[in-house]
Amino acid sequence: MDIVYIRELEIETIIGIYDWEREQRQVVSLDLEMGTDISLAANSENIENTLDYKAVAKRLIGFIEGSEFFLVEAMAEKISEIVLEEFSVPWLKLRLGKPGAVTGSKDVGVIIERTSK
């Protein structure tokens, strides 16, 4: 299986459990690895024959910007559902971070792996 990836995609959203977090947009950062087969696209050089990372990124940006989650865990699950279902990805690995959420750390968050059902 080949991997198409997106690294350090930063998106502003409402995320967190504290009152101030519900009123102020914060940045979340994601890395996404998506299992796919790139051989047809490699042979044809046609974007229609591959997993279009720009389309995935645009979909996730729109979703995350419009969302209001309390926990990164819940956001990560929903992101994985979108990618698996809407882009017919059989496997993904997602790192979802909240930069600056813990004083003294660069980033905190979750890493999940999921497969299509």
Mean pLDDT of 90-97: 98
Task: Clarify whether 78 is annotated catalytic.
Answer: no
Sheet holding 26-36, edge to edge: 68-69, 2-15, 26-36, 91-99, 107-115
Among 58, 98, 106, 117, which one carries the catalytic annotation?
A: 98
- Structure confidence at residue 101 (pLDDT): 87
- Structure confidence at residue 4 (pLDDT): 98
The token duo for 2 is 């080949």
Place of tokens 């690294």: 7
Q: Go through the domains of the chain in sequence order and give each one's CATH number.
A: 2-115 (3.30.1130.10)
Mean pLDDT of 45-49: 94
Mean pLDDT of 84-105: 95
Mean pLDDT of 85-111: 95
